[in-house]
Amino acid sequence: MSKPYGIVALWHGRLLRDRGARAAIRRAQTWDEVLTVPAFLDLYRRIHAAGIRMPPEILARMALAVSEVEPREEAGEEEKPEAPPELRPGRVFGRPRRGEDRAPVSFDRLRRLVETEEPDLFVRLLRAALVQVEGEGHPVHLSRLVHAWHFPAERLSARRRLLLDYAETAPESEFPQQGETS
C-alpha cells in the first residue's frame, strides 16, 4: 500500500466515528462542496504534512468515494489499513449477497461505470454502486481507483481490473449471451 492511500484509509477510520462530518461529505455532490467540510481539510493537511502533493480535486473525489464505505467488522482497521483482495471494487460489485443469485451491481451498470471518462461522473456512478453493495469495500482500493481515473494510462489499467474482478465473482447470468442485447 502506498502512502497516500494508507493516509486516506486511516482518515476514513476517524471519519466513521464522526457521523456529522461523514454525513456532510456524503451530502456533497461535487468536489468543490467537499472543500467546505472541516474533516476533508484535515485529510488535505495530513496528506500535505506527509510531503505528498496531490491536486485537491483528486483528493476530494477520493473522500467522496470512501465516505460511502461502511465500517468493517474486523477490529483494529484504523491501526492496520490493509486492503484484502476480496474487497476490490469489481469483486464486491459482482459477488452476490447472502441468499441472492444475482450480482448487486448489474453488468450493464458496471459497463456504464467503466466506460465513463470524466472523473466527476465516474465518482458519482461509483458512489451509486457502493450504495448497491451496502457500503462494502475498502478505502485503499477505492482511493487508488479514483486516483487512477484521472490519468488515461492508469484509467485503462483500472478499468481492466474492475471488469476482470467482476468476472471472477459475478454469476454467469450477469453476462449477456451471444446474440442478446442489453
Q: pLDDT per residue over 42-92, tens digit each?
A: 999 999 999 999 999 999 999 999 999 999 765 344 445 578 999 999 999
- pLDDT at residue number 1: 43
- pLDDT at residue number 178: 62
**What is the C-alpha separation between 15 and 10, in angstroms, rounded?**
9
Q: Which residues contact 156 (CB under 8 A, 6 or more apart)?
A: none
Instruction: Indicate the CATH number of 3-174 among 1.10.1740.10, 3.40.50.1820, 1.10.520.40, 3.40.50.170.
Output: 1.10.520.40
Domain ranges, ordered by start, for the chain: 3-174
- State the pTM of this model: 0.91
Q: Which residues contact 142 (CB under 8 A, 6 or more apart)?
A: 62, 65, 66, 69, 89, 126, 130
- Give me the sign of the Cα torsion angle 147, 7, 22, 129: positive
Grid coordinates standing for 162? 474492475
- pLDDT at residue number 109: 96
- pLDDT at residue number 23: 97
Report which DSSP code applies to 136: -
- A 10 A CB-CB count for 50 gives 11
**What is the C-alpha separation between 16 and 67, in angstroms, rounded?**
8
131 or 177, which is more confident: 131
- pLDDT at residue number 77: 45
Grid coordinates standing for 128? 451509486
Average pLDDT over the chain reads: 92
Query: Is residue 179 over pLDDT 80?
Result: no
**What is the C-alpha separation between 52 and 102, in angstroms, rounded?**
41
Query: Is residue 122 over pLDDT 80?
Result: yes
Amino acid of residue 134: E
Q: Do the Cβ atoms of 4 and 48 come closer than 8 Å?
A: no
What's the average model confidence in pLDDT over 145-170?
97
- pLDDT at residue number 79: 40
